[in-house]
Amino acid sequence: MVHAQRLEVSARTVNIQFPGRHTVYSEVDVSGTYLIAANRGLFLIRCGELTLLLRGNFYGITRDERSWYIYESVGKVGRILKLDEGFEREMEVKAEVAFADLPGWIHQIDMIDGSLVMTDTPNNRIIKWDFDAERWAEFYPLGKLDHKEQSANYGHINSIYKHEGSIYLVCHNQTVKTGRQSEILKVDSSFRVTERIVTDSSCAHNLIIHRGIRYHCDSTHQTLKAGGKAVFESQHFTRGLSISDNQIVIGGSVFMRREERHNGNGHLYVLHPDYSIRTSFLIPGMVQEVRRMDQRDYSFSECV
């Protein structure tokens, strides 16, 4: 297990035994297998069933060729769980705490160029773990904060994505509080900003570029945008996006004040590739991330 609070490394390993799976719905009209991270649990959709795997507050999901990695907030700190490839087919699932003592409220995580990269949203920071060198690096694309989230340069960076050699970050910008529209930042390999794309979206999340179209969730306006235009309108704060060849899945949440969110529920919207709706249903928790497991999911950087 790697400890990150002071960017130090520990060799200690902790295993977690998942409790028995709890079936939430026995029939959902969703093709394929999905992991859903929500503020009240980690959920799995497989063979038409929605099951609760583990209770907790989960966000970022990524993978490499052998394992899955899921970020969990635990009080004021966080950790990343590691699950072996194929765990979704096992009745009893075991997870290893791969990274402990991380900052709390990290949002999206992803594998980029062999490193695990995390959006340390409250601290305006990108954290990177280099597996080969076994060391941490940290970057401040918008600079360090003088007054925490009240700082003028605070961007609420919540999403990271690499496509065709370019790295992108999504800045939520706390639009509802600040009036600043969300931005997409293009950065170099050292996370220095090379281009700022101002959107007309509010409190945006997620970024996927697929077939030349740039997608993101215009969260406050409850829409999915493709090429800057709203192509789907939901009834919830949109956050969490998966695009595969035959299906689009979007997470939705009831918009609530932060101190009330532990009681919030969410929704899952399943769309056809033409953006028409196939089905939608309640998720017992505010959806924060969605990833497809059984097919190529273009939400992963460079589609691992």
Instruction: Write out pLDDT tens, residues 112-153.
Output: 999 999 999 999 999 999 999 999 999 999 999 999 999 999
pLDDT band at 89 (very low <50, low <70, confident <90, very high): confident
Question: In the prediction, which pLDDT does 94 show?
Answer: 79
DSSP at 298: T
pLDDT tens by residue, 42-75? 999 999 999 999 999 999 999 999 999 999 999 8
Tokens, residue 265: 């529920």
CB-based contact 78:104 (threshold 8 Å):
yes
pTM of the model: 0.93
- Could you count the other beta carbons within 10 Å of the beta carbon of residue 239? 27
What is the residue-averaged pLDDT of the chain?
91
Taking residues 256-270, report their average pLDDT: 76
Amino acid found at 157: I
Q: What is the architecture of the domain spanning 2-292?
A: 6 Propeller (2.120)
Cα separation of 140 and 144, whole Å?
A: 6
Statement: residue 162 has pLDDT above 70: yes
Q: Is the pLDDT of residue 20 over 50?
A: yes
- Whether the predicted pLDDT of 12 surpasses 70: no
Q: What distance in Å separates the CA atoms of residue 251 and residue 234, rounded to the nearest whole number?
A: 10
Q: What confidence score (pLDDT) does residue 87 get? A: 87
